[in-house]
Each structure stands twice: as C-alpha cells, then as structure tokens.
Structure 1
Amino acid sequence: MDKEFNLPVTPVAIPEKLELITLGAGCFWCVEAVFQRLNGVEKVVSGYSGGFIENPTYNAVCSGTTGHAEVIQVYFAPEIISLSELLEVFWATHDPTTLNRQGADVGPQYRSVIFYHSSEQESSAKSLKKQLNDSKVFDNPIVTEITGFTNFYPAENYHQDYYNQNGAQPYCQFVVKPKVDKLKTYFTEKLKK
C-alpha cells in the first residue's frame, strides 16, 4: 500500500494579466532555456515541485527521494501566447514518452509533468495529451503526469538563467543547445524578437 503524504502547500503570487503554469521536462536548465525565448513569456523561474519535503536543496532533489521534480514556473500573457501553444512547445522539446528520464538524466526528479493551477489548465492539458496519443504523434504513449499544483520552491540562485549565463559549458552545448535549436527551427514564429 502506498504511503500517503501531506504535501506542503506554498502560495504563489501571479501578477495581473498573467497566467502561471508549472512544467517539468527533465533538467530545468533545458526547459528554462526553451521557455525564456517564447514571445509572451514574461518570467521563468527554475525550482522544485510536487514533493513532500519543505525547502529542498538541489542535492536532496537529485537523490530522487524527495518526491520533487525539477520544474520551471512559466508566467505568460495568454493574449500573446496561449496555454495550448505553450503545451505544444513543452511536448515537442522533450521526450514525454520516457518515465522518469530525459536522455542521460534518470530519476523521478526528471519526470515529464504538468502541475496545473486551474481546472481549465487541467482540462486543456489532458485534452491535448489525449489528442497527441490518439494521433500517434510519438512512437510510444505519452507518460506525462498531469496533476494539481501543491508546492514550489525556487532553486538556488546559480540555477536561475543557467543557459544564458553558462552557455559555453559542455552540458549546455551538448544537451541544452539542441533543445533551443529545435525550438528555433520548429517554432520560429513564437520566438521573442
């Protein structure tokens, strides 16, 4: 029988006229770099979400024992970029068919996950996931977890804006840059000018 945890709940302030969605798609450095480049995305914050301990550290989350996923919080202007458009980019720029893994990054902290902040976001995410699976866009079924938001803890400062600050590092060149390049190739019209 599964243990039941009382998840810590953390409030999140959302600026007026913006929406917030919390997404996990492997290492947050990759996901942050992709979403920062989208027109209509006002702010991206890397952090940890979905776990059962408060104020986790990077090392604790990397152990795979906290229940947290590496995520980004995306603050976006829905009149410029819709949730559906964001989710299209989300599913296209990572492998949503591998459980608890993105490339060489393995563990539940790297799971594909959408933490929704409203019933509308839940409905939209589940509908789009079903459409993608029914259309067999991917060779295997999408395993992206879609669950209600409960908590978010910002990652340590050195994780914020990581690719923009450390783009020459080998991990950024070999893992992050190909995802950014894919975004530039397939979603040119959605990029910031």
Structure 2
Amino acid sequence: MSSSAVARNGQEFLAVLDNEEKTIKSKADGYNKLLQTDDNHLNEDVRCDINAVIGEVNLLLRGKLKQFRGLCQANVSKSTTSAGEPTPLDSDLEGFWDITYPLIDKVKVKFTKLDDRKAMQWASIEDEYDPNDVNNRPRIIDERLKQLQPHQNKSKPSTAKTANDDLKKLIQERRKAAANLSNSANQNHDVEIFVTQK
C-alpha cells in the first residue's frame, strides 16, 4: 500500500488519502460515541486506551495528513506549497507517503486490537513486544529496571551519596580557602607611600 512501481500523482494520492482518513475518522468517531454513551461499564484502563488511539488519530489528521494533503494539492495545481516551497514532484509525494503511511497503519492496528478486546467483553489481551512501538517501551524498561534494582542497591548502596558528600566537602573547602584569602587580604592592609624627591 505504501509504494508502487509507477509514481502516483497528487490527484491519485488525494483519493488514497481521502479513503484512509475516512477509515480512521470513522473508527475514532465510533469509539468516541462508545465512550460518551457508555454507562460506566468500561474500566479506566480501557477508557485510557481508547482515548490514546483517538488522540493519535486527531494528531495525524491535524499534522502529517494535513501536511500531505497540502503537498498533494500543490502538486495538482502546480503551485508552490503554503510554506512557499517549490511544487512537489510525484516522487516527493511517494517519499512523504512512505513515511506517513506506517503511522496510519499503526493506528489501524490499534483499532483492530480494540475491536478484539471489545469482542471479548474488554478482557485484557497480552500484547507481543513491538520494539518499534514507542508506547510499549517504557513498561518493558520499567520491568527490567525493577529486576535490576535490588542488585544495584546491594552492590553499590552509596555511590550517589558518596559523590554528593564529596561535592559538599569540595564546596566547603573552596569556601574556607576564599574566606582565608579574604581575611589575609584584610589583615595585610599596610600602606606604603612612595615620595619622589625633587
């Protein structure tokens, strides 16, 4: 779906874009309606998951897809873009679409997962770890850190504390040295007067 042998022009991409936007908007609207009509049957986790995907759709529509639509329209009208850049070539559109389509596809996959959960009365589904999904990374890293933490605490209990103490000592020593320097400057305030003979 992302690329083809023959480069598509702006008109063809506008048709593809309309279709993709219609699909994800329709899904987002359906789930939005579900959130508003549901009488507290959905738990907070499910609501958060639904809102996250709807938010992703809205960001896409207002961001990358809006930008891509502008490029396609500039390609069709053979005019400069709204940013004043030259008319995008068909190959430019292909390149932009290759970057943009995976974002659409990812949202569609998330809607499919929501559909699956809905069919199972919102039972939790164990996801396989996707290293490319930024949203999955923190949880996995957190789990790994929790496993490592006891070992770190036992082996190096005071590394941060020691560094902090060393820094405090250094600051105190510098302050003492500055105070001593200031005191010695104040004590040695003998004035010598030189008089030149005429």
Same fold at TM > 0.5:
no
Of Structure 1 and Structure 2, the greater strand share is in 1
Structure with greater helix share of residues: 2
TM-score by length of 2: 0.22
Q: TM-score, normalised by structure 1?
A: 0.22
